[in-house]
Amino acid sequence: MSAQKIDGKAFAADLRGRVSEAVKALPAQPSLAVVLVGDDPASHVYVRNKIKFTGETGMRSIERRLPATVSEDELVDVVRALNDDDAVNGILVQLPLPKGLNSDRVIAQIHPDKDVDGLTEASAGRLLLGKSGLRPCTPTGCVMLAKDALGDLTGKNCVILGRSILVGKPAALLFLEQNCTVTIAHSRTQNLEDVCRSADILVPAVGRPEMVKSGWIKPGACVIDVGINRVPSIKRPGKFRLVGDVAYREAVSIAGSITPVPGGVGPMTIACLLRNTVLAACLQNGWAVPDIIAGL
């Protein structure tokens, strides 16, 4: 029996539609500022998509494009100016930054109420303490997809494979908020396969192509694959294909539900970013959050 495919692309499109309806219900138009430094091709693609969807949902997009030669102090000044601009509700600094620029210092300048990526220390602290705030986009998308597949997550055993500050750790806290019993597994975990096989919800986020085999998965488990890895194409020499951290073709015969790569978690990141921009606008202006995007 084949696993149910969790269609992240369709869910993200629905979420963007709900964000668009929420924007119409607000007293004013929210705005998202994106800071892009340098000429990294992948970053340009990501930013172009973010700007496109921001406009499609009825929000205003603000761009700050800077050369790779910009000094760190100049970049910090740009972020601080956006903090001080009442017309800006969300700030996103596209990563990675060019060599020589300290991304930690730059991200730290973003005001937590405008931190739509949920990456600042203040945002992380709010999440850890269970206080209201803007949550990291990719982990939020993981929880949304798991809830869509399983419904109430209360009491589920959730294993997060990976302990990064971008995905692993915040994902663990977000699943804990859903009353899951959470384990963070990593490269030093003993009996790693057995730990993963205990999961009702398995969230691999390590960046190792097809590391998780079918034998690592509990029959009927929900698998949310965060990994996006470029590997050489077997059928097309010289070309590449995208695979996740899970060996998808063999996993579908064991899992109950699973996200594909591409088309799973990836599309959720931008959709959750747009949702965060609306939440940020409501937070800053004292507006009630529209029910259509409230909660996870």
Active-site residue list = 50, 94, 117
Using DSSP, state whether 185 is helix, strand or coil.
Answer: strand
Are the C-beta atoms of 184 and 191 separated by less than 8 Å?
Answer: no
And the tokens for 178? 């859903």
* Cross-strand pairs, 181: 157
Q: What is the DSSP letter of 277?
A: H
Region of 58 on the Ramachandran plot (φ > 0 left; ψ -120 to 50 alpha; else beta): left
Phi, psi of 84, rounded to the nearest 5 degrees: -80, -10
How far is C-alpha 201 from the chain's CA centre? 17
Pairing of strands 240-243, 222-223: unpaired
Distance separating alpha carbons of residues 186 and 163, to the nearest angstrom: 7
User: How far is it, in rounded angstroms, from Cα 74 to Cα 70?
Assistant: 6
